[in-house]
Amino acid sequence: MEAQIWKKHLIRKYSVGIILYPFLSRYIIYLIDSVSMKEQQNQFLRIEPLKRITIEQSNAILRNMVSVAKGKSTHGTFDNSRTDLNFEVGKGGVISEVDKTNSIPARIEHLLKSQDVKDPNKGKETPVYRTIANVILGGSKHTMRVISFGKQNIQEGSEADNSSVRRMGGIEHWALDMYTFLCKKYGENCIAAFIVHLDVDTPYANCILIPIVESKKGTKRISWKKKFVGQHDSIMAYKQKLIELHDELAKVNLKYGLLRGESFHTK
């Protein structure tokens, strides 16, 4: 009886996604049928301020295996047999294979040069300014796996062979929605890279975003404060911005069965 009540609760929560986005219905219906009675599926969002991205970090993000230790990444271990399923979203929402020849630092340099924006850390042996936002987007393991792989069986362990696993369309729709959300919120001109990793335990998207702002005169510069904090430069103001960001993102993630959840810093 409790399982049926919880199932009805899920149907009410996710019915908007099924009605408005019928192409996602099979993923959402399977999610409702398979999720456990008490396992609420939440979105995940983290923004990490960085002053620089090294080639080593870039290789890990792009899975450039020439320079990255086999099966290792900055977020733990990854499955080499699923690395080919990774993809990136480029300008205009174009989905393509990950371009491992174009490093993250090179992408950032090109982005800044194309807009005549100076890097305040350039020339400094030790960078001092927050010029990069490392944005991680994802959700609970079960949901992210369902929209990525459907009902396909994913083998676990160091000897796992998932080379026959296919990427499902649900994860591409989700990635495009996440990309569009960030474009509307911060501007597509600020996105240096948007990589989706399906070779990890819980699939997620990694967006490298440069906080470029434009003055009334049309000149551009990098400003973490103006882009992410606002006029009131305080911890409380930053936390409030993050809460609002989570709320806005939850409206997009609802159709995938990912709920708002609770902000870690508000606990």
> Residue 49 sits in a domain of what CATH number?
3.30.930.30
Q: Are 15 and 230 in contact (CB under 8 A)?
A: no
Q: Report yes or no on 23 lying in a domain.
A: no
The helix-helix angle for 25-34 and 141-149 (nearest 10°) equals 140
DSSP lists the bridge partners of residue 96 as: 88
Q: Report yes or no on 225 lying in a domain.
A: yes
Question: Quick one: CA torsion of 124, 130, 131, 134, rounded to 10 degrees?
Answer: 130
Confidence (pLDDT) at 6: 43
Q: Which domain holds residue 210?
A: 42-266
Supply φ then ψ for residue 64, to 5 degrees: -80, 95
CA pair distance 220, 215, nearest whole angstrom: 6
Q: Report yes or no on 243 lying in a domain.
A: yes
Q: Report yes or no on 235 lying in a domain.
A: yes
Q: Report yes or no on 170 lying in a domain.
A: yes
Give the residue carrying structure tokens 């000897």: 159
Confidence (pLDDT) at 30: 52
Confidence (pLDDT) at 228: 87
Among residues 95, 245, 250, 90, which one has the least CA distance to residue 171? 95
Q: Report yes or no on 178 lying in a domain.
A: yes
Q: Report yes or no on 12 lying in a domain.
A: no
Q: Are 168 and 147 in contact (CB under 8 A)?
A: yes
Confidence (pLDDT) at 266: 39
Confidence (pLDDT) at 38: 53
Query: What single letter denotes the amino acid at residue 35?
Result: V
Confidence (pLDDT) at 242: 85
The total number of structural domains that make up the chain: 1
Q: With a cut of 50, list the residues of the chain below it in pLDDT.
A: 1-6, 16, 18-19, 32, 37, 67-75, 265-267
Among residues 87, 37, 30, which one has the least CA distance to residue 257? 30
Q: Report yes or no on 11 lying in a domain.
A: no
